[in-house]
């Protein structure tokens, strides 16, 4: 089940469009899945990224690892961290997650993906969510999250359902990371959206 060498698959690989298979508690606690979790954690750190789903490493399993490390925030302005409602999230695992949007409030920010290397786009997401899942020990867990953490959860759960952020993105905002830095860095999302809408007219 576990590949010899884990590599992050890129968009176009059919596994990214499959609905992943749930895991039993027995499977979760197996040596194989525990080793997979450790390997995925290392792979996520090396990328680096804040989340990695099993389909991204070629395995159609309802499992994802998440961690938004404090060191990832050091080059982000305090204003942007506040706007995104972003703060560190400790390492954890979500298995067989069921996601529910809470409230009705939406937030829109640039989002990237390790399986769409080098690109980004504005993606509207629910500002708050509740995720019911199992943890890495197979124990039931309920996660209430808002802001950037809620966005990470939605992104990873999408992967487990065969969806990518490009399915939800504001299409005219799709950009390379280089052009994002050159043309949009530091601009508020509201200004970027207004500019994109004015160009379409």
Residue 4, domain member (yes or no): no
Q: What CATH number has the domain bearing residue 96?
A: 3.90.45.10
For residue 149, say if its preceding peptide bond is cis, omega within 30 degrees of 0: no
Residue 24, in any domain of the structure: yes
Considering the domain boundaries, does residue 139 fall inside one?
A: yes
pLDDT at residue 201, rounded to an integer? 60
Query: Within 13 Å and on the Cβ side, how many CA atoms surround 160?
Result: 25
In this structure, is residue 1 part of a structural domain? no
**Annotated catalytic residue: which of 67, 111, 136, 156?**
156
Residue 60 lies in a domain: yes
Number of domains in the chain: 1
Reported in sequence order, the residue ranges of 135-169 that DSSP labels E, i.e. its strands, are 140-146
| Domain assignment present for 7 | no
Dihedral in degrees, nearest 10, Cα atoms 72, 78, 79, 82:
70
Q: Are 156 and 110 in contact (CB under 8 A)?
A: no
| DSSP label of 10 | -
Low-confidence ranges of the chain (pLDDT < 50): 2-4
φ, ψ for residue 56, nearest 5 deg? -70, -15
- Catalytic (active site) residue 156: yes
**Is the alpha carbon torsion for 40, 46, 50, 56 positive or negative?**
negative
Q: How far is 105 from 90, CA to CA, in rounded Å?
A: 25
Q: Are 173 and 110 in contact (CB under 8 A)?
A: yes
- Domain hosting residue 107, numbered range: 14-200
Residue 187 confidence (pLDDT): 86
Residue 148 lies in a domain: yes
* Residues 145 and 125 sit within 8 Å (Cβ to Cβ): no
Quote the pLDDT of residue 185.
Answer: 86
């Amino acid at each position: 089940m576990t590949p010899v060498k884990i590599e992050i698959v890129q968009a176009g690989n059919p596994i990214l469009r499959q609905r992943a298979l749930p895991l039993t508690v027995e499977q979760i606690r197996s040596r194989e899945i525990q080793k997979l979790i450790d390997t995925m954690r290392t792979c996520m750190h090396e990328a680096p990224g804040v989340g990695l789903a099993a389909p991204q490493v070629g395995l159609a399993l309802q499992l994802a690892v998440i961690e938004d490390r404090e060191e990832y925030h050091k080059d982000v302005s305090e204003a942007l961290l506040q706007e995104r409602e972003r703060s560190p999230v400790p390492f954890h695992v979500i298995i067989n997650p069921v996601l529910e949007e809470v409230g009705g409030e939406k937030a829109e920010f640039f989002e990237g993906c390790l399986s769409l290397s080098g690109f980004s786009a504005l993606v509207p997401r629910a500002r708050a969510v509740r995720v019911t899942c199992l943890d890495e020990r197979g124990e039931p867990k309920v996660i209430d999250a808002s802001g950037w953490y809620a966005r990470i959860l939605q992104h990873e759960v999408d992967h487990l359902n065969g969806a990518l952020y490009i399915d939800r993105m504001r299409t005219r905002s799709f950009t390379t990371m280089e052009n994002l830095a050159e043309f949009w860095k530091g601009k508020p999302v509201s200004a970027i959206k207004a500019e994109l809408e004015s160009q379409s007219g």
